[in-house]
Amino acid sequence: MLVPAIKILKSARERHYAVPALNINNLEALKAIVAAAVKMRSPIIVQTSEGAIEYAGMDYLIAMAKVAAKAPIPMALHLDHGKNLKLIKEAIQKGYTSVMFDGSSLPLKENVAKTKQVVAWARAKKVSVEAEIGAIAGIEDFVSVEEKDAHLTNPEQAAKFVKETKCDSLAVAIGTAHGAFKFKGETHLDIERLKKIARLVKNPIVLHGASGVMEDVVKLAEYHGAKLGKARGVLDEDIKQAIKYGVSKINIDTDLRLGFTAGIREAVDQMGNVIDPRKLLEPAIILMREIAMRKMILFKSEGKA
Ligand SMILES: [Zn+2]
């Protein structure tokens, strides 16, 4: 059944685990993550970016998610990084059970006003709203402490923002980054900042750009010809700390992309005489399913459905 994301996230925050929010843009990824969730008895958030909607079409994605939601686990369909208000409104009306409004690049006043507008639309349909304050990038992109401080989420500002906008959950910037090349060296998340935020904000906290960039998956992809250079993700230990201190939704896109890539490359390499798309795609589905299951164990969402 599709449920509002806040329903799943509230108990995650209370019981100190995180729900995996997994990005999909095709049937293969959706089938992989739902199979993982059923096997692990984990709640999940299926999320699509605006780019995924552009690629697959909103109606296709909603129809697929509705079928997937017949599985015996709680599931939310979430719009990731919604920036286009028209598209957000459409998602709310057509059956998404959660939307993110990402106004993090806007002036604070405008972010507050637009988030409030989205919350008003969403309330009427019992849809959850995730908002964002602070810029999610690499901690090492900022040279000085002052610069770092200006980009990462300010705890007092975050508390005021949530109170004013009445958003359900809040994406924070504590040093994660999107993509497969997050850090140049060994980098840890700003857990002290997270602790301060979590003391002031009792809503579920969301971590973006949190893929681990698993070494074995990167190696497999590279063995079959991928050129990924120095891909680097968030350490498992940091993820565990983040969950301990209030993070209850963790977004994973890069790790699934890497799994898909590795699976496809291996299949193409090893099945030179095969032209059946099902056979070529199956290894990718299996690898994405395995990666999703590993996340459910790491996030402690296993057995919580
Ligand atoms: Zn994100």
Active site (annotated) includes residue 236: no
What confidence tier does 11 reach under pLDDT thresholds 50, 70, 90?
very high
Residue 270, both tokens: 């090893």
H or E element in which residue 21 lies: strand 19-23
Q: Is residue 196 part of a domain?
A: yes
User: How many angstroms from the chain centroid is the CA of residue 23?
Assistant: 6
Q: Is residue 223 part of a domain?
A: yes
Q: 208: exposed, middle or buried (C-beta count within 10 Å: 0-12, 13-18, 19+)? A: buried
What confidence tier does 149 reach under pLDDT thresholds 50, 70, 90?
low
Q: Is residue 273 part of a domain?
A: yes
Q: Is residue 134 part of a domain?
A: yes
Q: Is residue 303 part of a domain?
A: no
From ligand 1's centre to the CA of 15, what distance in Å? 24
| Beta carbons of 271 and 280 less than 8 angstroms apart | yes
From ligand 1's centre to the CA of 60, what distance in Å? 22
Domain count, the chain: 1
From ligand 1's centre to the CA of 245, what distance in Å? 20
Q: Active site residue: 80, 190, 238, 253, which one?
A: 80
What confidence tier does 127 reach under pLDDT thresholds 50, 70, 90?
very high
What confidence tier does 124 reach under pLDDT thresholds 50, 70, 90?
very high
146 pLDDT more than 80: no
* CATH number where 166 lies: 3.20.20.70
From ligand 1's centre to the CA of 49, what distance in Å? 9
Of 104-113, 155-164, 181-190, 265-274, minimum mean pLDDT range? 181-190
pLDDT tens digits for 199-223?
999 999 999 999 999 999 999 999 9
Query: What is the 3-state composition of the chain as percent helix, strand, coil, each rounded to the nearest 5?
Result: 50, 15, 35
In the three-class reduction of DSSP (H, G, I as helix; E, B as strand; rest coil), residue 252 is classed as strand
Give residue 134's pLDDT: 82
Mean per-residue pLDDT over the chain, rounded = 93
Q: Is residue 304 part of a domain?
A: no
Which structural domain, as residue segments, surrounds residue 264? 5-298
Q: What is the DSSP string of 115-178?
A: HHHHHHHHHHTT-EEEEEES--S-GGG--SHHHHHHHSPPHHHHHHHHHHH--SEEEE-SS--S
H or E element in which residue 23 lies: strand 19-23
Q: Is residue 254 part of a domain?
A: yes
From ligand 1's centre to the CA of 214, what distance in Å? 18
139 pLDDT more than 60: no
H or E element in which residue 206 lies: strand 205-207
- Give CA separation, 256 vs 58, 116, 199, 219, in Å: 20, 32, 32, 15
Q: Is residue 305 part of a domain?
A: no
